C-alpha cells in the first residue's frame, strides 16, 4: 500500500500520496476514492514517472471546507505543488476529477505541460431532476454513505460475482455475461476500498463554464470508452470540440467507465504512455 501524507499548504490541508521518480504526474481522481486510488498507475514506469495523487476535498483526509468548486480545488492542488517544490506537471484527470483537471490546465498554464482526460467529466454531469441524481443524494449522503459501502462490502463477501455483475451496469452499457473471473476480482477489490464521505455529494453539483475549456493551450489527450455508462461519451466529445490542441480516442473498452480493467486497457495504456513520453 502506498503511504499517505498530510501537508499544510497556503490554501489548506491536503492528503496526498507520492511514488516513483522522474516526470511528475498529478492525478486528479474521481468519485468514491482518494489518494490511495492507484488503478490509473497501471503500465506507468515508476522509474521514469513521479505519481502524485492528492485526495480531492471531501475525500480521504482532505477537508471539504471552502474548496467546493473545481476552481477552488485547482488552487489547492497548485498550492500542494508549491509546497512540494514541483514547478510543472502532466495533469491526469479522471471521472468527476475531470473538472478540476480542466481548471488547473486553463488557469495555471505555466504549471501544466500536458493534460490527460480519461473517462472524465467535462461539463454539467447529472440531470438534477433525474433519478440517478436524486438517488445519489440519498445513498451517498455523508450521514449514510458509510452504510451504503458497508453493505457493498458485505455483499462482496457473500457473493462477489453477483455484486460485480449488478454494479457493472453502472459502469458499462456492454453485456455483463461471461465476465472474466480475474477482472471480476479486480473490480471487487477496488469496490472494497470505496468511500464517498463528503466528496461525492459535492461532486454531483459541480459545474464548469465552457469558456474554461477554450482557454486550455497545452497538448491534451482524451480517452473514453463508447460503452461508458457513468460519464457519457458526450463529455469526451465536448472536450475535443472545446479544447484547441486536443486529440480524442474513442475506445471499445468493455468495462466502460473503468477503462483500466481488463485486456482492452492495453490500447489505452499505450496511448497514455506514448503521450507521456
pLDDT in tens, 187-214: 999 999 999 999 999 999 999 998 999 9
The Cα angle at residue 131 between residues 32 and 146, in degrees rounded to 5: 30
Residue 26 or 262, more confident: 26
- Identify the pLDDT of residue 264: 83
CB-CB contact of 198 with 64 (8 Å): yes
The Cα angle at residue 179 between residues 173 and 185, in degrees rounded to 5: 110
Backbone phi and psi for residue 121, each to the nearest 5 degrees, phi listed first: -75, 130
How does residue 263 score in pLDDT terms, banded at 50, 70 and 90?
Answer: confident
Residue 1 has pLDDT above 70, yes or no: no
**Beta-strand pair 89-94/112-118:** parallel
Residue 262 has pLDDT above 90, yes or no: no
- 110-113: long-range contacts, CB 8 A cutoff, minimum separation 24: 111/78, 111/81, 111/87, 112/88, 112/218, 113/88, 113/89, 113/218
pLDDT in tens, 38-81: 999 998 999 999 999 999 999 999 999 999 999 999 999 999 99
pLDDT in tens, 97-117: 999 999 999 999 999 999 999
Residue 12 has pLDDT above 80, yes or no: yes
pLDDT in tens, 227-249: 999 999 999 999 999 999 999 99
> Residue ranges per domain, the chain?
4-127+207-276, 131-191
Find cell 517544490 and name the residue.
85
Q: Is 1.20.950.20 the CATH classification of the domain at 4-127+207-276?
A: no
Give the Cα separation of 46 and 23 in Å (integer): 9
Residues carrying an active site annotation: 95
Query: What value does the mean pLDDT of the chain take?
Result: 95
> Greatest CA span in the chain, whole angstroms?
51
Residue 2 has pLDDT above 80, yes or no: no
Residue 176 or 89, more confident: 89
CA distances to 21, 199, 254 from 63, in Å = 28, 9, 35
Find cell 467546493 and name the residue.
68
User: Model-level pTM?
Assistant: 0.95
Amino acid at each position: 500500500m502506498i503511504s499517505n501524507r498530510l501537508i499544510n499548504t497556503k490554501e489548506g490541508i491536503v492528503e496526498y500520496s507520492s511514488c516513483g521518480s522522474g516526470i511528475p504526474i498529478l492525478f486528479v481522481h474521481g468519485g468514491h476514492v482518494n489518494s490511495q486510488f492507484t488503478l490509473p498507475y497501471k503500465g506507468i514506469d515508476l522509474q521514469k514517472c513521479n505519481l502524485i495523487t492528492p485526495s480531492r476535498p471531501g475525500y480521504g483526509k482532505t477537508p471539504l471546507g471552502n474548496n467546493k468548486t473545481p476552481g477552488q480545488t485547482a488552487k489547492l492542488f497548485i498550492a500542494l505543488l508549491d509546497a512540494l517544490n514541483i514547478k510543472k506537471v502532466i495533469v491526469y484527470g479522471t471521472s468527476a476529477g475531470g473538472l478540476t483537471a480542466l481548471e488547473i490546465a486553463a488557469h495555471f498554464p505555466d504549471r501544466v505541460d500536458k493534460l490527460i482526460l480519461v473517462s472524465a467529466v467535462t461539463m454539467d454531469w447529472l440531470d438534477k431532476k433525474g433519478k440517478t441524481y436524486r438517488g445519489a443524494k440519498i445513498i451517498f449522503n455523508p450521514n449514510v454513505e458509510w452504510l451504503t459501502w458497508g453493505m457493498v462490502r458485505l455483499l462482496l463477501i457473500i457473493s462477489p460475482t453477483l455484486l460485480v455483475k449488478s454494479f457493472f451496469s453502472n459502469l458499462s452499457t456492454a453485456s455483463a455475461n461471461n465476465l472474466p473471473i480475474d477482472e471480476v476480482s479486480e473490480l471487487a477489490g477496488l469496490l472494497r476500498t470505496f468511500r464517498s464521505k463528503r466528496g461525492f455529494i459535492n461532486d454531483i453539483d459541480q459545474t464548469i463554464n465552457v469558456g474554461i475549456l477554450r482557454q486550455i493551450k497545452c497538448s491534451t489527450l482524451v480517452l473514453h470508452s463508447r460503452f461508458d455508462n457513468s460519464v457519457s461519451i458526450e463529455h469526451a466529445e465536448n472536450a475535443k470540440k472545446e479544447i484547441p490542441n486536443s486529440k480524442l480516442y474513442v475506445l471499445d473498452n468493455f468495462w466502460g467507465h473503468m477503462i483500466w480493467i481488463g485486456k482492452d486497457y492495453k490500447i489505452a495504456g499505450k496511448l497514455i504512455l506514448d503521450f507521456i513520453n
